[in-house]
Structure 1
């Protein structure tokens, strides 16, 4: 009797597992939880910067609609890109068709956002110059079956960081091209790109490349160089000593966790994905504080 119950439970689990496998990942909601911080943080910081600039420069109230349109284009564009990555990997034609549906829907919404932003502020077309190569790299890596590669991740991360000066420019009443964005905004953009790019080798050293000493060494080396680069930016460019201190502090904390956590995991500590995400929150908050200080 006990054997029969155990077999029944096992069979039920197998059926449920099979159902989950057949259902697959939802293409409508990105499941890469670590990407949400990279996706949202520059957008929120850029929105604050753009609104602040709009108030300071007494920009026409229409700039708020442009900010909204740019954010729509960014978020729905990323959602479409995520679903596109699933469609490329899908071997089953039916599943591929299911994954392509949100590509079309989200892509259409993102296109409306792009067109709306350009109609309201045509000078935003200049941003295609830095964005286009980054998008091409990310799409190319996805088509080549390397959607999770470091190169693809860095391209997406830099594109996300670029959203900060874009939104800042929207609020500047007299601005026309990316060259009109102030140095503090560009410094913040580079800092965000450096910080979020560093999370890619760090996470890989804990998950996909766990136990690979060369990758761990590369991750630590990147963070050492990143600390020096951010320190140089803070000293040479006009971001203020408080912002510079917070930015350097964020990178020092990031360097510490890039060394300590993988070594602790090797020693037997349980560092799962959820715990890694929680450990990253203090670093992210210090990094965001550094950018916010440059605005005010």
Structure 2
């Protein structure tokens, strides 16, 4: 162990830099896809104004800095001493203030965005409530965060369309949001079967059962959409996700060395396939 490693451990986790690397894919992917969908929607309207080009980055600032504040808040909530809690609070205030500025700018330019608080607020409340109860890594907290992230896709699409209204979002974008939510929600039980619940056969059955149901739901979406390319990519993604939910835990139980880093790297192709499926839905 190097001196640098020892110093890092003594200092503990930095509240200024989120260390949950697995959350970054869930945090960034829907935001990028939503930005692409929003820009495309902006280009397709008859008389585009400059406002969406200001609101899109404002929403992204609110999202990312809101997550940074939430991460630091989670550390403060589970701190055992008042002194340690005090070291975690500054980024909550700084990042939270920046996030509120982004929200204020977005609402000032597109007041209809206030309607998006109806689906977003309960999800955020659930995540915060689970954190205060000491269950920040619970499945309920993870799913609520995933749903909030997936909502960025239709929200940014609405922003790009000009008004930010919920009823302006095409049906295919809503279905793509559901697809993203199904995929990312599946990563929660899968990762738990490899780390915290690696020796729990009941949890493994739950993970596999979820992926089977998600696969059937995506197959129904593919048949409904009428687009073989979009539907085929979505089904392929969930088929691979189901396969890895079965095979990787199976191989780990037989001695295959699956570190957290290796599990994360194995997820990259599945994530890219999911993103390509959503991009196909946006453009085709």
- The TM-score with structure 2 as length reference comes to 0.96
Unaligned 5+ segments in structure 2 are none
CA-CA distance at 1:171 after TM superposition: 1.1
Q: In the aligned structure 2, how far is the partner of 1:113 from the partner of 1:94?
A: 30
Q: In the aligned structure 2, how far is the partner of 1:48 from the partner of 1:293?
A: 11
Q: 1:170-229 CA distances to partner (integer Å, 9 max, x unpaired)?
A: 1113x5521221101101100000000000000000000011000000000000000001
- Deviant stretches of 4+, over 6 Å: none
Query: Match for residue 205 of structure 1?
Result: 193
Q: How many residues are paired up?
A: 282
Match of 1:219 among 201, 207, 215: 207
State whether residues 169 and 180 of structure 1, in contact with CA within 8 Å, keep that contact through their aligned partners in structure 2. yes
Query: Match for residue 24 of structure 1?
Result: 12
Q: What is the correspondence of 1:9-158 to structure 2 with a 5 Å cutoff?
A: 17=6, 19-57=7-45, 58-158=47-147
CA-CA distance at 1:94 after TM superposition: 1.6
Q: In the aligned structure 2, how far is the partner of 1:293 from the partner of 1:16?
A: 44
State whether residues 72 and 88 of structure 2, in contact with CA within 8 Å, keep that contact through their aligned partners in structure 1. yes
State whether residues 38 and 196 of structure 1, in contact with CA within 8 Å, keep that contact through their aligned partners in structure 2. yes
Q: In the aligned structure 1, how far is the partner of 2:230 from the partner of 2:268?
A: 18
Q: In the aligned structure 1, how far is the partner of 2:97 from the partner of 2:206?
A: 40
State whether residues 233 and 276 of structure 2, in contact with CA within 8 Å, keep that contact through their aligned partners in structure 1. yes
State whether residues 59 and 171 of structure 1, in contact with CA within 8 Å, keep that contact through their aligned partners in structure 2. no
Secondary structure of 2:196's aligned partner: coil
Cα RMSD over matched residues? 1.5
Q: In the aligned structure 2, how far is the partner of 1:24 from the partner of 1:182?
A: 46
Larger Cα-atom Rg: 1
Query: Match for residue 152 of structure 2?
Result: 163
Secondary structure of 1:104's aligned partner: helix
Q: In the aligned structure 2, how far is the partner of 1:16 from the partner of 1:135?
A: 34
CA-CA distance at 1:20 after TM superposition: 3.6
Unaligned 5+ segments in structure 1 are 1-9
Q: Greater shift after overlay, 228-237 or 270-279?
A: 228-237
Match of 1:265 among 252, 258, 270: 252
Q: In the aligned structure 1, how far is the partner of 2:233 from the partner of 2:224?
A: 15
- The TM-score with structure 1 as length reference comes to 0.92
Q: 1:228-281 CA distances to partner (integer Å, 9 max, x unpaired)?
A: 01111121246x221111011000000000000000000000100111111001
State whether residues 162 and 189 of structure 1, in contact with CA within 8 Å, keep that contact through their aligned partners in structure 2. yes
